[in-house]
Structure 1
């Protein structure tokens, strides 16, 4: 498995393809909410396994914080360290960019995953795209 910063239109399409499967098809998030107005302001990440895209995420800077968004892994690739590898890559990118406070909005079922890698819940539960979330933060 390899995680890379998106550098081409094909890699961006690969990241979008994973996001469409996970968020739009599996979780029924409307496509217009999933692919949003922040795409061009984000640094995108894509994970490949044997040349096939299996994971994605994006990162942007808001008010001095790194905002980690759209972390997803295809169903058949979950539970094998893919999510952690994507997060490790995003966190390394943030540190290289001198960003040391990261924030994300985790779906509540994913909170234990993020807690395991050092994120702390900083909000009450809220709904986003019809899915319960909590905001989490980590210093890197």
Structure 2
């Protein structure tokens, strides 16, 4: 089994350069809607969690606290590291961090093909699916009750 470590990093650190490439390559490039995605308005106020194997970022997710309501975005795992529990582990770590930060709920928008994955963690679907302006994908809003 790979030696994967998990840690929260700063958005202006060296490892975040790897994050920029990973999240664009997996989340946006395949769909061709946008040609560049490096930083956005949430990066400087969010918690950035990475999964690292041999000094390479192989997983990433971001959590932002909006007055006690958490929002998880950009959950991504490198294609070479999928099906190894990395996404599940990152979500568990975000849940612990959300409790520490006194968040009541965690929200996220899931691609349709990953709804079952988030349900296994304990998220529930809310409302109807919608079309993302950013990615062009059909998404499902989901929520996890933290406390």
Q: TM-score, normalised by structure 1?
A: 0.90
Show CA shifts across 1:23-60 (max 9, x none). Answer: 13334351556742222121111110122110111111
**In structure 2, what is the Cα distance between the partners aligned to 1:121 and 1:131?**
17
Q: Is the 8 A contact 1:67 1:104 kept in 2?
A: yes
1:138 to 100, 121, 144: 144
**In structure 1, what is the Cα distance between the partners aligned to 2:87 and 2:63?**
14
Show CA shifts across 1:66-121 (max 9, x none). Answer: 10110000111011101011111111111111113111111111100000110000
Query: Is residue 100 of structure 2 the alignment partner of residue 109 of structure 1?
Result: no
**In structure 2, what is the Cα distance between the partners aligned to 1:136 and 1:103?**
6
Q: How does 1:1-140 map to 2 (within 5 A)?
A: 1-7=4-10, 9-31=13-35, 35-128=39-132, 129-140=135-146
Unaligned runs of 5+ in 1: none
1:14 is displaced (CA, Å) by: 2.3
Aligned residues: 140
Moved over 3 A (4+): 31-35
Q: Is the 8 A contact 1:122 1:135 kept in 2?
A: yes
Q: TM-score, normalised by structure 2?
A: 0.86
Q: Is the 8 A contact 2:20 2:37 kept in 1?
A: no
